[in-house]
Each structure stands twice: as C-alpha cells, then as structure tokens.
Amino acid sequence: MANDTPALWLLRLPEVFADLEPAIMEDLGAEMPRKLGRDFRLVRLANPARLHDSPAAKFIRWNLPVGHMWPCRPRETAGFIEKAAQALWRKFGDSRPQTVMAGALDPCAGRNFYRPLASNLRGRTLQLFPVQAATIRHAEEQNPLADSLFALVGEEGLFCGLHSPQRANGFHPGGTKFMRQSGPDAISRAGAKLAEALHHLALYRSAPASGGHWLELGASPGGMTAELLARGHRITAVDRAPLDARLAGAAGLHEVRMDVARFKPPAGTIYDAILCDMNGDARTAAAEVFRLAAHLRMGGLILFTLKLAGSGDYAEINTLAATVTRRADEAGLKRIALKHLSYNRHEFTMMFERGA
C-alpha cells in the first residue's frame, strides 16, 4: 500500500449487520461515518490496522483507503469519464499499480447506470496507464499481494485508492462477485456459496487440485456436493438426510447416510479438504470438523460455515468466533480467513489449513 495512509477509508458493511454498526465503528475507531450507496461507509480511521486485527474486522466485507475523491454527480457531469480518467492518471500514474479495477458503489442504483459507467471508466483509464496494467483482463488474474487502483462510482461521486486485493478483502471493487454454480441444475444456493468461498480462497492460497478427495459434513440436499463434482473432485458426503435424487450414481461420489457424530473414516483414509455447512450449534459442528481433521493431509483445507443462530449481539458473535478459532488452533489448524461473503446470511465463512 502507499506510504501515506489516507485518513479517509471506504468500508463495506453488509446490511445484515447494520444494527451492529455503532459497536463495529467504535471498535474500529471510525469517526464521522457517512453512508454511501446501499452498504458503504466513508469514515476516518485513526488506526487502519484495526481493519485487520480487531474483532470488528470480520464484519467489514471490503475496505479501501481513499486516495482521491470527487464528490460530484456523474449523471450530470459533462465529460465525466474523460475528466475522471485524467484525474486518476495524474494522481496515481507514478504509483504504477498492477491494474485498474472499477465498479459501482451500488450496482442496483439508477437501473444499473453505474455498472457500464464504471466499465467505461476502467477502459479509458487503462489507456492512460502503462501497458502492463491492461494485460490483466480478469480480476482473478491480479497478484493478491500487489497494489491495484480500485475505483468506485455512484450517485455521490468517485472514490479511489491503492490497495492489494488481499488487504482490501476481495479481487473486485466492493469485494462482491456473484457466482453461478458450475452444475446445470441448481440443487440449492449452497453451491454458489461454495463457489464464492473458493474464489476468495485464491486471495490466500490455491484450492485443492481437481480430483482431490473432499469430506463433506452435513451434505444434504447436495448443493455444495454438486459444485464439487462439477469441478472434478471426489466427495465423501455424510448426512442423515439423503442427497438430491439428481446426484444418484454420480461418479466420484460416496454417500454415507449417518449422523456426523458417529462417522469414522476407514483406517488410513486421508482427505485433501473438509467442507462443513451444517446447521445447528456452531461449536458442536466445529468440534466434529476438528475431530475429523486428523484425517486431513498436511496443508489440507477446511471450509467451515460459522452459523450465528442464537448469537445476536456483537459480543456474542465475537466470543463465538474466538472460541472456534482457539479450538482450531488447539487441533493444529491455522486460520486463513474469517469473512462474510455475499452468499452468507447470518453466518461467516471460515478457512483453515492443517499445519505440521
């Protein structure tokens, strides 16, 4: 990130946590929050490190230090794209970002007026920057650790800054990429939730290679199972309830109709990844995951949905997340990420890997 830390930051707070905003902003030390779009806040941060080391960090879906701001009305500003692109070049050209990414503050505002506007702004800005910046065509091609120039545009104007995708918490401006499931027939929305989790995993490490063996706990009805099968993986799917009939006889699938608490893998079985989206008490589900982590290869991945049912206030949620993280550490697992994705509801996605 640039050496001079801007006082202004753009934070994305999902609507599901809007009622916790006072506690979140207090924990972050955020001053003078101003709402932009549907769920962005423009704030002053005395200590930006709190975005990564405070309990409030997990509630912020995406963040950006604001290095340039133009509080105009783009719809009514003649020549907006050219003026904005030239301003970005003057402000950030010498910083040589790896690429330019532009998006809408609120993709649903103005009948999607701002999405094509953002796309055109990116195209014109890339014409002004060094040719290397234009070689990144897709957001996922960015180096997660290198600075990109992110720009967000909406009814309130233009907000831009330099940040690495990993520190920003997403490859895309605003952090959101709506995923489609790989399979032709969607069994449930859980498949898209898994696809988004794997998309965000690339900010930190590679996903298990195609053909890897996954253990899925609480698999029914099979939305995530179908997504893994479409990606070429082998799955042992454990649940008392049956999988969707469309998965019957699927190559690479072994269905185990059993309570997860009673499941014991065959001797010598090693998994490349464990996936758990079980309903019910999060501590109980985590205990089963960590018990079975003994069958995970070194460096193996765990994707765990931290359900917040019964944990409503800020302190309760923080205690729950801290408890699960501590128990994972005791089981020899390293937490990679804890984040709220666009397909998460009142829950978080946690990512772990097995250490030595």
DSSP state letters, 266-299: PTT--EEEEEE---S-HHHHHHHHHHHGGGEEEE
Identify whether 161 is part of a domain: yes
Q: Which of the listed residues 108, 138, 168 is the one where a domain comes to its end?
A: 168
Q: Which amino acid is at 213?
A: H
**Above pLDDT 90, what percent of the chain?**
86
Is 178 within a domain? no
> Is residue 183 scored above 70 in pLDDT?
no
Neighbours of 83 (CB within 10 A): 15
Whether the predicted pLDDT of 354 surpasses 80: yes
Choice among 79-88, 187-196, 300-309 with the minimum mean pLDDT: 187-196
Q: How far is CA 305 from CA 103, 151, 265, in A?
A: 28, 31, 22
Kindly report the length of the chain: 356
Q: For 40-87, write each residue's pLDDT tens digit.
A: 999 999 999 999 999 999 999 999 999 999 999 999 999 999 999 999
Collapsing DSSP to helix, strand or coil, 95 comes out as helix
pLDDT number for residue 32? 84
CA–CA gap between residue 204 and residue 270 (Å, rounded) = 23
**Which distant-in-sequence residues (6+ apart) come within 8 Å of 298 by Cβ?**
354, 355, 356
CA distance 52 to 169: 10
Section 292-308 average pLDDT: 97
Same domain flag for 230 and 152: no
Give the pLDDT mean for 272-297. Answer: 97
How many domains, the chain? 2
The band of 8, judged by pLDDT with boundaries at 50, 70 and 90, is very high
In a domain, 37, yes or no: yes
Same domain assignment for residues 119 and 14 = yes
Is it the case that residue 184 has pLDDT exceeding 60? no
154/234 same-domain check: no
Residues 248 and 210 in one domain: yes
Q: How far is the CA of 54 from the CAs of 59, 76, 185, 191, 319, in angstroms?
A: 10, 40, 40, 30, 13
Handedness of CA 258, 259, 260, 262 (dihedral sign): negative
